[in-house]
Amino acid sequence: MKGMKKSLTEEYLYLDFSHHTEGCIFPLHTSVTLFLLSYCDCKIFKVCLVLTKESTNGSLLRDVLSQDIKTQMISRQELPPIVQNCCLPAVVEQPDNFCRAGLAVVLRHIIQKSYEVDPSKKEILELLGFKKTCLKACAEVSQWTRLCELTIPLVIEDFLRESSKRPPAIPAEILELERKLGEPVRVHNDDKLRRQKLKLQKAAAAGPPLAKGRAKSRVHAQDTSEHVGSSPESLELTVAFSKLTVQETAATAPREPPHIRKAKASELPPLEHVFAEGLYFTLTDIVLLPCIHHFLKMSIDRALRKQQQLNNLVYVVTNQAKPGDRIVDFCSGGGHVGIVLAHMLPSCQVTLIENKELSLIRAKKRSDELGLNNIWFIQANMEYFTGMFNIGVALHACGVATDMVIEHCVRIRASFVTCPCCYGFIQNTSRFSFPKSEQFKKTLSYKEHMILCRFADQTAVQLPPQQRLIGKQCMCLVDLDRARAAEERGYAVQVISMEPESCSPKNNMIVGVPV
């Protein structure tokens, strides 16, 4: 191929691999690097996926990898000595004495090597930005580099991990990124572009031009409509797309009218973001796109799973509730369960109990927007609630909080509908000792019960199917002990699974009714 350089030093690219789920490879640094390789159509690196301690079966990895990327699996012990001193990703030149490590450094190197191999790929080099400095400043001194290179990938990984256990809040770092993308764009020719935008705004405000004015400005209008946009709203987008299709040419348009040229900088409209760093697609977008895509996809999936969880609990409660019943939603969080119950059962009084103030304020706001008048909100630990009620509900109450809810209900002979969570946090307290039931105490010691609880937490979707099956069986045994303990105190209890079971890794429900 014309312009190709053939004598290149052989280089190895080492990437961590822990697991893959729903089309995404983890950690996200690895997904980002593979995405760039595919985007650049870069085949000059020998790619090695390094198994981590958390690594799962990679036999199905080919299903989510581009067919053009050839990879091999290695253990951490097989890494070259120089790489063992660094965090991955890392690139090593043969003979293993020059290493580049860290996401930004490795990604910039991939871009530069891709251009070196094929200098006709100027659009690849432009990923580095106007002065080729995109993500060049180290994360220790650049807040922007730190946010994109380190913070966003890590917080989204945590978000996805936590979403398999309980619904987490949107990370503050995502909101910070959203705030930054709302700030005005600064580019090297922003004064010129802002004046063009001002001209378009004034033209739009003035309405259709007169025939004489239209003929006089036809040539200049054609130039701005092709390269800048025919409306103030589309200017940034048109400039961005013009960069992707043709190189900018020297400005040949007539001078701007005097009232545009003389406008003060403070009077010029700001430019809005099209991409992460402004108007042009850069390496920063390559980094953020896989992360934000998976975050948004998981957010939609999580909303559906939350809806399915609510359907299960609400179905059971509405079939038990009678007019005039008092229903308590323990550990209510933002009120997802309690608000739905108050809406579905207008003749019942629903009380939400939550110790986190912000969560309860959010729940009250939602309730007020719906105009509900049969719902109360109490910020307190549940032991401070002494009222009488007929049905107690708890969705994913963590660890022994589920046992506290059941105990609260049993003490006043109320029915309970609970969905436990965080089995690994279960341990003896001043109020509870495990196993709880006499039947299980005859078989299991406390230590054996704790082992059972630890295995019961191994139900995350990214784990191998056999491991998840064992986790589900242990989960059922822990909840069966809870059920037997309630039966010994005069309750009819069922341990059932939510439908579909995929709505949550923690999909057991313990339903108890006093005999």
CA–CA distances in Å: residue 45 to residues 20, 77, 105: 22, 20, 15
Side-chain-side CA neighbours of residue 258 (13 Å) = 0
Q: How far apart are CA 147 and CA 135, in angstroms?
A: 10
Mean pLDDT of 2-23: 72
Single-letter residue type at 236 = E
Confidence of residue 2 (pLDDT cuts 50, 70, 90): very low
User: Which of 312, 161, 192 lies closest to 255 in space, CA to CA?
Assistant: 192
Confidence of residue 225 (pLDDT cuts 50, 70, 90): very low
Tens-digit pLDDT profile for residues 419-471 = 999 999 999 999 899 999 999 999 999 999 999 999 999 998 878 899 999 99
Q: How far apart are CA 65 and CA 15, in angstroms?
A: 13
Mean pLDDT of 158-178: 76
Confidence of residue 354 (pLDDT cuts 50, 70, 90): very high
By DSSP bridging, strand 326-330 and strand 349-354 are parallel
- Which pLDDT does position 167 carry in this prediction? 56
- Which pLDDT does position 213 carry in this prediction? 44
> Which are the contacts of 211, defined by CB distance < 8 A and separation ≥ 6?
none
Confidence of residue 150 (pLDDT cuts 50, 70, 90): very high
Place of tokens 């191994």: 458
Concatenate the DSSP letters of all residues of 10-49 into one string: -EEEEEEE-EEETTEEESHHHHHHHHHHHHHT---EEEEE
- Which pLDDT does position 64 carry in this prediction? 53
Concatenate the DSSP letters of all residues of 438-485 into one string: HHHHTT--HHHHHHHHHHHT---TTS-HHHHHHHHHHHHHHHHHHHHH
- Which pLDDT does position 505 carry in this prediction? 92
Q: How far apart are CA 37 and CA 43, in angstroms?
A: 8
Location of each CATH 3.40.50.150 domain in the chain: 316-514
Q: Which residue has the higher pLDDT, 200 or 513?
A: 513
User: Is pLDDT at 96 greater than 50 in this prediction?
Assistant: yes
H-type alpha helices, 263-387: 283-320, 336-344, 357-370
H-type alpha helices, 164-268: 172-181, 190-206, 211-216, 218-227, 235-245, 258-261
Percent of the residues in the chain that have a pLDDT greater than 70, as a whole number: 84
- Which pLDDT does position 223 carry in this prediction? 45
Q: How far apart are CA 462 and CA 387, in angstroms?
A: 42
Tens-digit pLDDT profile for residues 195-221 = 888 888 877 777 665 444 444 444 343
Confidence of residue 238 (pLDDT cuts 50, 70, 90): confident
> What 8-state DSSP symbol labels residue 376?
E
User: Is pLDDT at 482 greater than 80 in this prediction?
Assistant: yes
- Which pLDDT does position 210 carry in this prediction? 47
User: Which of 369, 375, 306, 312 lies closest to 346 in space, CA to CA?
Assistant: 375
Which residues in 75-153 belong to E strands, given as ranges?
90-93, 98-101
- The hierarchical CATH code for the domain 316-514 is 3.40.50.150
- 260 is written with which tokens? 């545009």
- Which pLDDT does position 265 carry in this prediction? 78
Mean pLDDT of 364-375: 96
User: Is pLDDT at 63 greater than 90 in this prediction?
Assistant: no
- Which of 5-14, 292-301, 377-386 has the highest average model confidence (pLDDT)? 377-386
Single-letter residue type at 381 = N
- 56 is written with which tokens? 């799962």
Q: How far apart are CA 484 and CA 60, in angstroms?
A: 41
Concatenate the DSSP letters of all residues of 408-450 into one string: HHHHTT-EEEEEEE-GGG----SS--SS-SHHHHTT--HHHHH
Average pLDDT, the chain: 85
- Which pLDDT does position 218 carry in this prediction? 40
Q: How far apart are CA 197 and CA 256, in angstroms?
A: 11
Instruction: Assess contact for 460 and 160: CB atoms under 8 A.
Output: no
Integer-rounded Cα Rg, in Å, for the chain is 30
Task: Give the three-state DSSP class for 137.
Answer: coil
Q: How far apart are CA 58 and CA 36, in angstroms?
A: 21
Tens-digit pLDDT profile for residues 104-130 = 999 999 999 999 999 998 899 999 988
Mean pLDDT of 395-416: 96
Tens-digit pLDDT profile for residues 256-306 = 788 887 788 788 888 888 899 888 899 999 999 988 888 887 767 778 888
- Which pLDDT does position 90 carry in this prediction? 96
9 phi, psi to nearest 5 deg: -70, 135
Mean pLDDT of 311-323: 96
Confidence of residue 336 (pLDDT cuts 50, 70, 90): very high
Tens-digit pLDDT profile for residues 24-56 = 778 999 999 999 999 998 888 999 999 887 655
- Which pLDDT does position 42 carry in this prediction? 86
By DSSP bridging, strand 90-93 and strand 11-17 are antiparallel
> Distance between the two ends of the chain, CA-based, in angstroms?
82
Q: Point out the least confidently predicted range of 178-182, 364-368, 474-478.
A: 178-182
User: Which of 396, 353, 416 lies closest to 503 in space, CA to CA?
Assistant: 396
Mean pLDDT of 337-360: 96
**At CB < 8 A and 24+ separation, what contacts does 250-258 make?**
251/192, 252/223, 253/220, 253/223, 253/224, 254/219, 254/220, 256/195, 256/196, 256/199, 257/199
Tens-digit pLDDT profile for residues 497-511 = 999 998 999 999 999
Mean pLDDT of 68-72: 77
Q: How far apart are CA 31 and CA 24, in angstroms?
A: 7
